Every structure is written in structure tokens, then in C-alpha cells.
Amino acid sequence: MSVRMHACAAALAWLAFAGPLFAQDDAAAPPTLPEVVVEPEPGMPADDDGTLPPIDVTPDGEFDDALNNVDPGDFSAIYPSLSDQTLGGFDGGMRGPSISLFENPQAIEIVTQQQIQEKGVTDMGAILEQTVGVMVQRTGRGQSSPFVRGLTGQQVLIMVDGVRMTNATFRAGPNQYFNTIDPNMVERVEVIRGSGAVLYGADALGGVINVVTKRSKLCGFDYATGSTVQRFSSADTGYTGRLNIEGSVGALGVFAGGGYGNYNNLNIGSGADFPAGVTDPQQSTSWGYDSGDIKFNYALSDCSELVFAMQHYSGNDVFRSDRNPANRNEVFDPQQRDLTYLRWQGCGDGLISTYQITGSFLQLLEDRTDDEFGRVPPRLRTFGFADQQTGVTFAFSSDLCCAGWLSYGFDWYHDQI
């Protein structure tokens, strides 16, 4: 019985396919499209009758020669957009040689100067917003803590010009210290996603964020120039202003600047969707800052230089405003960072291809007022700390030819709280 059923099914299937085939024999033939002859452009290869060759024929010429001469070990020449951005080298203080993002095996994102200008940022957290693999947490305006690969605080290493800013006061959770950098003095931000503990220590478990600040250009001739940033926002009647000057005389270059910002309580508007219990303007959302920095770079030779830099940032009346309704007010005033470093860097022809020796001093000052007005009885507390960090870094690299590059060295940091 089952054999007959399978045979019947096969016969029906054959009729289903054969019927349309036989029916097409009696149907009218489809119209024939006229043949179109495409005339070749001058200089293009053509057959004897003047028509173009078949599409599967590859003409001989310079294109084939260029492909045959490409070095298989350096495919970055085909992708210049990936080769233009490099990580490492002397400019940013990163450890190791300058390697393009295409050739670097790490997951890296570089926020360029053009991107920073287009965003019109007011703090460092806004620079890293919309960056791949990075989430920015804010406990209040004027505060931000970057998450890299789900980690933050003491598990993400933050550096300024290759000098460690993460210190013994950084807690495991979010903190506000990333915002103690004036965003308008930043040239670019380099983000390495994933563990960088081999080169940078256990603080780089989640990743490394290196903030590269601006510097003068030693271009072989004397020059002087300046720039300014002015920003006004109506939602908080906020103002940001900064003035930069730079120039060079002979082998000496200098870059200096100063900034100021003041932002009032945020006006969040009104209407049917206005949240209940929230006043307008929103309280405890005002803050301000002032900053100043100067950087000298002196060319000792064609392949070595000295860099001396000083940076200052002071945040004022920075509120913690993540509680609604709030039963306490926490105000950071001041939230201050001062950095000084001296660096000798260069390249050689011997066993050591590049060297970078840095001595640094970093000071973080924090005073906090905690007004627990919702407590019975109310309590007002004032406390703070001062962290002084001294550091020395020796970073070297050697070109091992076909074996690649070898990066080595050591660093030492001491915190006095």
C-alpha cells in the first residue's frame, strides 16, 4: 500500500512540472531586445570590430602591475584611512613605537580634534560619548566616569600625555576625576579597549584612556599664532571661554592656554510631561571651573627632545545630583588637579630604537561638604583629602626586524595622602 502511494505521489509531481513545460511550447515567444553596441571610450581596450571586450577579460596595464608589486606584508597601503591614525610614538606619551590602527591587533578608538570641535563639549565625558565600547556615567553635572568593557574606576587606567592620573584614591565604582581635565586643551583621546595590564599594570584591566594635550609644532621656522573657543548655552545660561597661544623660536616651542566655565541650574522646561516633584530650574545642577596650562618642547637634535609641561584645573561648586527627591546635598569645592612633568624622548640607531624617560608630579585636592538635611537631627559634615603622586617611567622599544617590535621598561609611582 505504501509503495503505491509513493508511486502516485511521484506521478503527480511529474505532471505538476511537466504541465507548464508543455504549455510553454504553444505560447508566443517573448520579444527580442535590440542589440545595443556600446562604443568604447578613448584609451579603453577594444576588440577588432570596435566593441568592448567581454566582462571576464582583464586588460593588461598599470593596474595589474600595481597589484603584482604590492608587498603582501603591508596591506595597510591599500587602506590609507586606517593607516592615517596611529597609536604610540612620542606625541602622546604612549609606550612603544608608532603603529597604525590597521596593523595594531588591539581594539582601539581615537577621538580626533575635528570630532572634539564638532561636538562642542563642556567636559571630558562628552568627548567619549558615542565612542565604540565606552559608556559614560554621570553622578552630576561636571562629573563623569568612563566605563570600558564594563569596568570603571580603579580598573580603567586614565593617563594625561602618558602620565598616570589613576591613583590610590580611585575607588572601584564610578568617580568624578576624569572631568578634572579641560576639554579645550585636548588634542585627541586614545582609547584601548581590553586589558592593557602587560604594559600599564593592573589598573588597566578594563582598558586604557590616554588624553593627549595640545603642543606647539617645531616646523623649522619661527611663528606665533593663537586661537579661542567661546560657547554659550541658553538652557543653563552657561558660558565657556578659552584662549590659546602657541609658537616657536628656533628649537624651542611653547603652547599655553587658559579657560573658564560657569553653568547655572538647568532649565528643563515645562508642560504636560513635566515630572512631578521636580522644580524648574533643576536645583543642584550648577557648576564652574577654571584652568591653565603651558607646555615647552625643545629639540635637542633631529631625533630627541625635552618636554616640560604644567597643568591646572579647579572645579567649583560641583554638586552630586543623582538622587530625586534628594535628602542631602553633596558639593565638591574645589575639585582640583595639578600636573607637572619633564620628559626626555628620542630615537636611536643601536639596540634601543626609541626611548622615553619621564618624571612627574600629580596632586589631587578635594574638599566636600555633605549637608544631610533629611536626617534627624540634620547633620553638616566637611571633609576632604590631598593626594600627591610622584612617578618615574622608563619606556624603551627595539626593532627586531622580521620578529616585530619589543617594548620594555618600568615605572614607579608613589602616593602620599
Residue 252 above 90 pLDDT? Answer: yes
What single-letter amino acid sits at 216? Answer: S
**% pLDDT > 70, the chain:** 73
What the chain holds in terms of domains, given with CATH numbers, is 93-210 (2.170.130.10), 213-416 (2.40.170.20)
**pLDDT confidence band for 219 (50 / 70 / 90):** confident
User: 40-49, 211-220, 390-399: which has the minimum mean pLDDT?
Assistant: 40-49
Per mean pLDDT, which of 21-30, 67-76, 121-130, 397-406 is the most reliable?
121-130
φ and ψ of 348, to 5 deg:
-135, 175
pTM of the model: 0.74
Residue 338 above 90 pLDDT? Answer: yes
> Which positions ≥6 away from 202 have C-beta within 8 Å?
none
Distance from C-alpha of 10 to C-alpha of 21, rounded to nearest angstrom = 17
2: Cα within 13 Å, side-chain hemisphere: 0
Give the dihedral sign, CA 173/410/91/197: negative
Average pLDDT score, the chain: 80
Distance from C-alpha of 376 to C-alpha of 366, rounded to nearest angstrom = 27
pLDDT at 182: 93
341-362 tens-digit pLDDT: 999 998 888 888 889 999 999 9
Give me the mean pLDDT over the 305-324 stretch. Answer: 88
Strands (E), 156-204: 156-160, 163-164, 186-193
Torsion of CA 72, 75, 78, 79, to 10 degrees: 170
